[in-house]
Amino acid sequence: MELHDGEIDNQIHQSCVTTSMTPDLPLTLVDKPNKRRRKKSIVWDYFTVQTVEDGCIRAYCNQCNKSFAYITGSKLAGTSHLKRHIALGICPVSRERNQSNCAPTTFTNGNAANPPRKRYRATPTFVSIPFDQNRCNHDIAIMIIMHEYPLDMVEQAGFIDFVRSLQPQFNMMSYATVQEECTSIYLREKESLLNFVCGIPSRISLSLDVWISSDTTCYVFLKGHFIDNNWNSHCLMLNVVRIPSLKDDALNLAVLTCVSNWRLDGRVFAFTVDQSFLSDTLARNFRTFLVANDPNFLNGQLLLGNCLAQVLCQLAQSALSSMSEVVWKIRESVKYVKTSFVREEKFLELKGQLQVPCTKELSIDNQTKWDTTFHMLTAACELKEVFSYLEESDPSNDSDPSNELIISTDDWKVAEALCTYLKYFFDVANILTSPCYPTANVFFPEVSKIQTELTNASMSQDPLVRDMTKPLKDKFDKYWNDSCLILAMAVVMDPRYKLKLVKFIFSKVFVQNEEDWTRIVDYGLRDLFLQYTMETLTLSESFGEDGNIDISINETHQEEHQGEIYLTTGDGLSDFDVYISEISENEQTKSELDRYLEEDLFPKSQEFDVLSWWRLNRYRYPTLSKMAYDILSMPVSTVPHDSVFDTEIQRIDSYRRSLPPAILEALICTRDWLRYGSLLSPSPSTEMSDAILKREI
């Protein structure tokens, strides 16, 4: 019966233990079983066992002659450490031999003429990968791009020593070399992305964001938003342009650079900017340029919007500023609890005694991110009873003669009202934090909710609510009036809502003139649909000029039946036949848009994916689906998803400012492209979404 290595080692161990426990037995009786057994482990092709002294046996490497513990008294060391010595290249003789051969190797006994005997189980192997300097250069450049490491790290002593310890053959890159490698990667990725963008059927929407450096130099970040052939949505960085200041001409030049670099002439559909730095002159210039770029689309009404994230941030800051005294009290009270382990333990003990059902964790806010202040206020309001008891039970409060930190009942009412309206802003802003940029159809219900709530609150009988929300409504009205048409058209492209949701919401927001606003959206959709239909007809005419037949089905039908005499069957249903014919003709004259709007709404579900729905229905609505391509990809925000809640303007650090503009653009754009991976791969939820839609259609 064959024994495995572990079983042999156990038997050796048991034999040694038996020897130590039965000293009266002759040594020869104990040694005999070991002599009869043949060691089966692969390590014995590389090691020789020698007895050093009584009760101590060591294993010697046949190549480097280093000794290792094997048996010491009753303790058995086993063979795992012996295997590691060979398999991991610890043995210097074996490592030098493998490096000189530069070929895949397996365990050998150092003698090619005497290969190891055949084993009945798989033997451990290791592979020596040939060294490739170019591949190492490429990998270091990718690492620097992905993790935003400084380019000069390749010349730092600590990094050089670390790399040499891993691979002594590597010739360390210079600063200039790593610059060239990063630029080469950027150019390859850009060429691939440019070919991809030129091949998609949809137009491109642009968003523009501006970062400032310490020397007041500005950096314009231009992103492209589009839907590809597989109905996957993309938001990718296209250009990073350095300009001396926020002058109108400089910003216009940045946009022109983007349009030229990416061959977007006649393909720009919508344009979203941050209203805070947009002057009237610049807005007029952008609109004129984009209308000239493609004059067919509603005379530019869809080509300029506001950044929703910035609008929500301004509203939140305004609300927090109006109640700054209460916010300060709560913040200091939270600091008082969280900065002392004893006080925090006391706070938690009181919470348990009072059985306050709060699941939120109390935390100190980061004042550069307004969502952290919202979470702090929300948690504090739920724990207000605990704060009250803590104030009464903590004697240190008596030492403060002014008692400025004591939060009154009225203060808590203010905080709760503030949290109510911050919650509306937070819910909408939170949608923008998704790494996958959301489609435009999701924003109309959420934004209209803010408009409705602020309108109602501004007319409240409660002076606290009215005074707090009236300035907020005045600020939000401008965004709503400028953007509701765009957002409403986007939600019509959602088969769960269509124009019915627009009518419903407008009836609540525009009580007096709801029909007028609904008619504006309807007219805008039909004008847009007409433009897409004309484009389709133009393409069809061009197709017919190539020699293909370009005759309509109705014309063919009329030619085939000219001069024919129709006879009735005598069943008395000839009038019915005429009726059916008229119905069919009327149905054929209805446009895709009419048929789409008249169909029943698609049932709502959490798994619904609007892009999957259009992918499955693009053949039913060929022209309308082209509209959906462009409308659903319109951006409503300009800031990155991880900066939605920032209250401070984005700034370029001193290291990035020191880089040449071309290198900075290459690093930022390439990182964005590599982070999002392959453009051609469908999203993981595509198959599941398609299956759900097919089941429900």
What is the 3-class SS of 667-689, one letter each residue?
HHHHHHHHHHCCCCCCCCCHHHH
How far apart, in whole angstroms, are the C-alpha atoms of residue 378 and residue 207?
Answer: 33
Instruction: Compute the distance between CA of residue 634 and CA of residue 437 in angstroms, rounded to an integer.
Output: 10
Tens digit of each residue's pLDDT (9 = 90 or more) over 575-595: 555 545 554 545 557 889 999
pLDDT tier, 599 (very low <50, low <70, confident <90, very high otherwise)? very high
**Two tokens, residue 609:** 């994916």
Q: Kindly write down the DSSP assignment for every residue of 564-632, as one continuous string.
A: ------SSS-HHHHHHHHHHHHHHHHS-HHHHHHHSPPPPP-TT--HHHHHHHHTTTSHHHHHHHHHHH
Give per-residue pLDDT as tens, 195-231: 999 999 889 999 999 999 988 889 999 999 999 999 9
Tokens of 142: 């990718």
The conformational region for residue 25 under phi > 0 = left, psi -120 to 50 = alpha, else beta, is beta
Which two tokens mark 377?
Answer: 């206020």
Closest CA to 130 of 163, 169, 74: 169
Residue 34 tokens, joined: 């070991």
Distance (Å, whole) CA 415 – CA 297: 46
Kindly report, residue by residue over 324-340, the tens digit of the pLDDT: 999 999 999 999 999 99
Which segments of 294-440 does DSSP mark as H helices, in order? Answer: 308-322, 324-338, 341-354, 370-382, 384-393, 409-431
Alpha helices in 432-442 (DSSP H): none
Structure tokens at 690: 């398609």
Rounded distance, CA 650 to CA 210, Å?
8
- Class of residue 410 by CB neighbours under 10 A (exposed 0-12, middle 13-18, buried 19+): exposed
Task: Report how far residue 226's alpha carbon sits from residue 529's, in angstroms, rounded to the nearest whole number.
Answer: 19
The continuous run of DSSP H or E covering 221 comes out as strand 218-227
Q: What residue has token string 């009988």?
A: 461
Q: Whole-angstrom Cα distance, residue 154 to residue 177?
A: 10
Residue 37 exposure: Cα atoms within 13 Å on the Cβ side = 20
What pLDDT score was predicted for residue 295?
Answer: 57
pLDDT digits (tens, 9 = 90+) for 113-159: 444 454 445 455 555 678 899 999 999 999 999 999 999 999 999 99
Gap between the Cα atoms of 597 and 221, Å rounded: 38
By CB atoms closer than 10 A (0-12, 13-18, 19+), residue 18 is middle
pLDDT (tens digit, 9 = 90+) per residue, 38-89?
556 777 888 888 887 777 888 888 888 888 888 877 777 778 888 878 776 6
517: left (phi over 0), alpha (psi -120 to 50) or beta: alpha
Averaged pLDDT, 278-290: 74
- Give the predicted TM-score (pTM) of the model: 0.72
What pLDDT score does 413 carry?
A: 94
Q: What local confidence, expressed as pLDDT, does residue 469 receive?
A: 94
Place of tokens 């004042």: 367
Q: Which amino acid is at 514?
A: E
Residue 241 has pLDDT above 90, yes or no: yes
Query: Does pLDDT of 24 surpass 80?
Result: no
Strand arrangement, sheet containing 218-227: 233-243, 218-227, 204-212, 268-273, 305-306
Cα separation, 60 vs 58, whole angstroms: 7
Q: What is the pLDDT of residues 364-419, one digit of tens each?
A: 999 999 999 999 999 999 999 999 888 777 655 544 545 567 889 999 999 999 99
